[in-house]
Structure 1
Amino acid sequence: MHFVLRLATALTLGCLVWFVSADLSVSAQSSTTNPYRATFGWEQLPEGRVLGTVSGVFPDPDGRHLWILDRCGANECAGTDLDPIMKFDLEGNLVDSFGAGLFAFPHGFFLDHEGFLWVTEGGSHGDSRAVAGEAMGIGHQVLKLNQQGDVVMRLGEAGVWGDGPNHFNGPSGVVVARNGDIWVSDGHRGGNNRIVKFSADGTFLLEVGGGVGSESKEAARFSDPHDIKMDSQGRIYVADRGNSRIQVFNQEGELLYIWTHYGKPSGLFIDRNDILYAGDGLSGMVRTGPPDNWRSNLGWEKGIRIGDLKTEQAWVTHFIPQHDEDVGAGIEFLGVDFDGNIYAGEVSRRRLVRYVPHRPSELIRTQ
């Protein structure tokens, strides 16, 4: 009898702990502060020109301009003569643009410490978004451009997919270290499921994960690595979107952390104070079929999660929920200017949302 009572008590406490833990994990997501308000129509474009899917935003080092990667007023650039790379002042006025004809499905975007712009072609072979580019003989590359729009370096072979040291399959993101080393997340959904490191001259150095059909929940493996960023310590952050987690690596490609408290991250941004912003535009959307069936991340809200990478585990301290009725894929790309304003690209609505700080926040005060 005493054994049964002790067993029942233990089971009850076990259930209580589970429910409390589950409750805490949910409330931790929804009770964090939101010191931002959404604004619209910041961008001032020529008559007839509209933004499509914005897949990258970076502040210029001069502190007076912002660079945006746009999919040519739609969700791809193939067949248009529009410029996908755009330079704005902080009042939203367009001051320069270039890149027409270079990309079919521009995806990853990065501005390095020397002022060079990097763009990836994110359509993986077999995905409808790669078809037009492959037919045009472009895609599956990472391009480096100067601020006059000249291509000064190419990684990968135009229009040719593969998983060796000289080929990509829909590279989704790129980040460059101060010593010039280049990291690429390769690739987009159905792609190579790996991250790759190159030296400044494009020499292959290492890879982690890899191969079409290699989607896996295992540590240091990936399912749709959708973005890649680096902090001031040189740690590499991968938005392992299909697995609803962020994986963190050192410069040797060794795994440091696996974080599941940032929802289902599509896009990452790390500011100069090592504040991490993670855009989640897919949580709660039921996803079935190939390449996997565990992608839905039910029970989580879409939005932007913010944490401080200078703290242990970088727990989420601010959460900006999706502000509108759900119409499909939401925020997948984002950037932050030096004043703490967040610029987020929504996929289904094909619009840019500017989130402006409207009340005190310890994160905003550190900008």
Structure 2
Amino acid sequence: MARFWVCAVAAVFSLAFLILHSCYCGPPMFRNFVFVNRWTTEKPLYRLDLDWPKYSEMFTGTPFCVAVDSPNGLVYVAQRGDNIPKMLVLSEDGHLLRAWNYTVDTPHGMFAASTPYEQTVWITDVGSDFMMLWLHGESGTGPTHFNIPHSVTLDSTGRVWVADRGNKRIQMFDKVTGEWLGMWDDCFTEEGPSSVRFTADGKYVFFAQLNLSRLSFVAAPPAGSVGRCSVVSTIQLADQVSPHLVDVDRKTGAIYVAEIGAKQVQKYVPLSSSSSSLGS
């Protein structure tokens, strides 16, 4: 019995040494893996789909944004770089369907507004002239003011959510009247959000933080309430992955993340999914 306890104690100390060594001396991805899985008490909601895309070499530039065309099962990726296709169109299972290198100069954001009968994608191009169609607010730090408004989305109750990146907050407005409804800033002491979206079931608001390489999930408040920004789950990416903009497949619930540091787009699927492509 004494020999058993000696071996058990030795094993515990060996494991502790391995964890500490990995945290401070190991490669960046393993450091993040150890911290997230050993210390967090959050409930994981998503897992990385290791089979998407089929060939990561298709990303020949820096993917700045991604948009999901749920009705047609398509994923659009816009990337920056010289002498490369600026637009890639992939299938839900990760196959490259087509690409083009015209009409787009320096893409920044993108939104798919397709129907089963017509495919439409809107792209913000910071390298070309543009015409302003709608404006709300002004530069500043007060309510309704913005400093690098970087992403916008709508919820099912008619609220507009804006990732006010420079002011380290998310602001909410009424879609019809433009009335300011409130803001979240207590989740952003380290860094502002670069992107904001809702999960397909509408249960969570989630946002990306570029320099922290993190996705955070917050329970969505009910209609008539802004609530508090209390993170219930996170996806901690490897160091310097830098998630820029994200999008959601409204049909499958999958989340796609455009990573400008890693120069790739990754797909995360809900843990409730029965897909055989789920990875750890």
- The TM-score, its normalising length taken from structure 1, stands at 0.53
Q: Which amino acid aligns with 1:358?
A: L
Q: Which amino acid aligns with 1:68?
A: Y
Structure having greater relative contact order (Cα 8 Å, sep ≥ 6): 2
**Structure 1 residue 48: Cα displacement:** 6.3
What is the root-mean-square deviation of aligned Cα atoms in Å?
2.9
**Structure 1 residue 47: Cα displacement:** 7.0
Aligned residue number for residue 107 of structure 1: 108
Give the secondary-structure state (helix, strand or coil) at the position aligned to 2:226.
Answer: helix
Question: 1:259 pairs with 180, 184, 193, which one?
Answer: 184
Q: Which amino acid aligns with 2:236?
A: Q
Q: Which amino acid aligns with 1:253?
A: G
**Structure 1 residue 116: Cα displacement:** 1.9
| 329-338 vs 310-319, greater mean Cα deviation | 310-319
Which ranges of 4 or more aligned residues in structure 1 deviate by more than 4 Å? 45-49, 314-317
- The TM-score, its normalising length taken from structure 2, stands at 0.68
Pick closer, same or farther for the CA change 1:48–1:239 going to 2, 3 Å: closer
**Structure 1 residue 57: Cα displacement:** 2.5
The Cα offsets for residues 319-363 of structure 1, whole Å up to 9 and x where unpaired, read as 223232x22x61121122222222111121112222233359xxx
Q: Which amino acid aligns with 1:243?
A: N
Pick closer, same or farther for the CA change 1:70–1:306 going to 2, 3 Å: farther
Q: Which amino acid aligns with 1:346?
A: E
- Structure 2 distance, partners of 1:236, 1:350, is 30
Identity among equivalent pairs (%): 23
Aligned residue number for residue 355 of structure 1: 268
1:277 aligns with 2:206: yes
- Structure 2 distance, partners of 1:118, 1:305, is 26
Q: How many residues align?
A: 223
Q: Which amino acid aligns with 1:96?
A: R
Q: Which amino acid aligns with 2:95?
A: N
- Structure 2 distance, partners of 1:349, 1:47, is 12
Q: Equivalences for 1:78-157 in 2 at 5 Å?
A: 79-84=82-87, 86-98=88-100, 100-112=101-113, 114=115, 115-122=119-126, 133=127, 139-141=128-130, 156=131
Aligned residue number for residue 253 of structure 2: 340
Pick closer, same or farther for the CA change 1:102–1:41 going to 2, 3 Å: farther
- Structure 1 distance, partners of 2:57, 2:209, is 32
* Alignment gaps of 5+ in structure 2: 1-39, 274-280
Residues 77, 89 of structure 2: 8 Å contact kept:
no
Q: Equivalences for 1:303-314 in 2 at 5 Å?
A: 303-310=215-222, 312-313=225-226
